[in-house]
Amino acid sequence: MLNTNKKSARFMALHYREGAFVLPNPWDVGSAKMIAALGAEALATTSAGYAFANGLPSTVGVITREQAISHAKELVEATHLPVSADLENGYGDKPEDVARTVEMAIEIGLAGCAIEDTSANADKPIYDQSLAIERIAAAVETAKKLDVNFVVTARAENFLFNRPDFDETMERLLGYQAVGADVLYAPGIPDLSMISKLCDTVEKPVNVVRGIGLKGVSISQLQEAGVKRISAGSALARVAFGAMVTAMNKIYQNGDFTDFDTAASFGALDNLVEKSDLERKQA
């Protein structure tokens, strides 16, 4: 039966209004609530951030489908915002594996998901293009049967796996567009000129992750290049964990606790959690 998830309709609409929007990536319930209270319009999970929070490496394939879906469900239930899930390669090589993952995503109330074309196989990390397109087609077909507004983001991973071939990346993204992907995403594209060319070539909204490269590039510059959605990936989690690592190194190396002086107060964090909970109840 076709789902009537109002959150997915809200999430889809964000991609077609004027201007770009920021899609932050919390890594647990607490960060989700706080980010929601700080003004986010939607959220996305981060497989790497979730892995770090659970003492796991960020390598693709370490997190199971069951873990990813369970984590995403926690975030869906934590706030009033639409949530998209980083579902890595869809947790299986076959198109039917990806279809089942998308079905599970919709069942728990997600508003969208991202599916990568990386295989989690170190010897051959990127799927052949024809299979990669079939996998996205299966994701789209399943999504549109169950929730017409569910946002399927198709990721081309060349730049993250030592295959920095822009023409091949573009060809893959055009293939994903042709089978109905709602958003196109190639993490790791190194500069604005390439991003602008991508946005000018494709017809679907483009997501750019600001947490990988692009140092100094602003929202306005990405928007001018044609980007519709700007995600954080694991960057917010790495900012948080990086601050902890820096503070601990200072303590053990120099006996220096000064980083504690700039820590958020109990009251400030309590207020964010309370605000998020109130917004969820009122939604």
What mean pLDDT comes out for the span 161-168?
96
Work out the angle between the directed axes of helices 166-178 and 129-146 (0-180°, nearest 10).
30
> In percent, how much of the chain has pLDDT > 90?
96
Residue 1: its pLDDT value, please?
45
258-280 per-position pLDDT tens digit: 999 999 999 999 999 999 999 99
Residue 144: its pLDDT value, please?
96
CA distance 110 to 91: 17
C-alpha distances out from residue 7 to 188, 225, 229, Å: 29, 28, 17
Rg, Å, the chain Cα set: 19
| Average pLDDT value over all residues in the chain | 96
Phi and psi at residue 116, to the nearest 5°: -95, 160
Q: Distance from CA of residue 269 to its chain's centroid?
A: 24
CA angle, residues 199, 97, 90, in degrees to nearest 5: 40
What mean pLDDT comes out for the span 52-81?
96
Residue 105: its pLDDT value, please?
98
Residue 61: its pLDDT value, please?
87
Q: How confident is the model at residue 3 (pLDDT cuts 50, 70, 90)?
A: low
CA distance 192 to 203: 18
CA distance 141 to 148: 10
CA distance 267 to 246: 24
Structure-block tokens of residue 60: 């693709």
Q: How confident is the model at residue 5 (pLDDT cuts 50, 70, 90)?
A: confident
Question: Does position 201 have pLDDT exceeding 90, yes or no?
Answer: yes
Structure-block tokens of residue 104: 């599970």
Q: How confident is the model at residue 4 (pLDDT cuts 50, 70, 90)?
A: low
Specify the pTM.
0.96
84-119 per-position pLDDT tens digit: 999 999 999 999 999 999 999 999 999 999 999 999
- State the CATH architecture for 6-282: Alpha-Beta Barrel (3.20)
How many helices (H) and strands (E) the chain has is answered by: 11, 8
Q: Map out the domains of the chain as residue ranges.
A: 6-282
Q: List 185's β-bridge partners, or say none.
A: 155, 207
